[in-house]
Amino acid sequence: MATEIRPFAEASQLIKRFCQNGEGCGTTPIPGVMLYRSDAPTAAIPAIFEPMLCFIVQGRKRTMLGDRCFEHGAGDYLIASVDLTISGEVIEASPEEPYLACALRLDTTILAELLLAMPEQPVSNRPCSGMSMCQLSPELLDALTRLLRLLERPQDTAILAPLIEREILYLLLRSEQGESLRQIALGESHLTQVSKAITWIRGHYADPLRIETVAKVANMSPSSLHRHFKSVTAMSPLQYQKQIRLQEARRLLLSQQADAASVGFTVGYQSPSQFSREYSRMFGAPPRKDIASIRHSVPSAVGIANTESLGVA
């Protein structure tokens, strides 16, 4: 009897070959491409998910965006259209069958160039989520596998990787999920306006949040900003700012020898007790205990901070 060939077998082997230490990997020699591997289930880890595609080729993961839950496994991929604060946990992985994923940063310049070359398609301005989940088509899997093969052919990367990336984005623009990608490539869509608001909040996270100022940056009314921001990110602008503040505080605590009170003040908290309370609510433990636990269990705590900031897979 012929041996069954799994559709993701080659992609899985390529990622395992590049990620042999059982955890992480992060960036690769291919610009904009990141890999992730876990040999065991993980706890939920808050992270900032940049605009990207995340392809799962083995194992399962649960991603929370506000109160929305995405459970995805081999053959699924996530599209994040804007910077999102999420929480992710690997729920199915083992040394024999590790969780394996590949992420590709979204390049809005390439998306815009492709749209100009494609037949014009209507773009809806209805509220939409900043994250969606889909299934890999055979064409997308073929392109992804060819991109991963370049890990073993670095001499071909500079020429072929950009071509394959354009092919992947073109296939996505033609898919049922192309609507959100078309919106982020267009300057006046509501998704683009929310993205401007997100960028401003991330750049001014330590300052008091005035919704009128953010609405002006996004060229929206305050009520429209609230409605579309919640649709895209599953949280209000104030909740989003709080998550950004706490993510940055954790990164600073991991990478610097600083006390919790001074870090809390740096990220915008005037009250040390409020900072400790909200930090504990998000990360499950007060700052000192949380950081000590990470440093005890992870060889490179700074690496955790870097992974969270990238939102890798």
Sequence spans of domains, the chain: 9-184, 187-235, 242-310
Going by C-alpha positions, the residue among 232, 231, 241, 234 that lies closest to residue 209 is 241
Identify the pLDDT of residue 142: 95
Residue at 104: amino acid letter: L
- Please answer whether residues 23 and 93 qualify as being in contact, where contact means their C-beta atoms are separated by less than 8 angstroms: no
Whole-structure pTM value: 0.81
Identify the pLDDT of residue 154: 92
- Please answer whether residues 30 and 157 qualify as being in contact, where contact means their C-beta atoms are separated by less than 8 angstroms: yes
Task: Please report which confidence band the pLDDT of residue 119 belongs to, taking 50, 70 and 90 as the band edges.
Answer: confident
- Please answer whether residues 168 and 271 qualify as being in contact, where contact means their C-beta atoms are separated by less than 8 angstroms: no
Identify the pLDDT of residue 124: 60
Which residues, at least 6 apart from 11, have a Cβ–Cβ distance to it below 8 Å?
55, 57, 100, 102, 141, 144, 145, 148
Dmax (CA) for the chain in angstroms is 69
Alpha-carbon distance of 292 to 301, in angstroms, equals 10
CATH number of 9-184: 2.60.120.280
Identify the pLDDT of residue 58: 95
Does residue 202 register a pLDDT over 90? Answer: yes
Beta bridge partner(s), residue 52 = 80, 105
Sign of CA dihedral 77, 189, 83, 165: positive
Does residue 121 register a pLDDT over 80? Answer: no
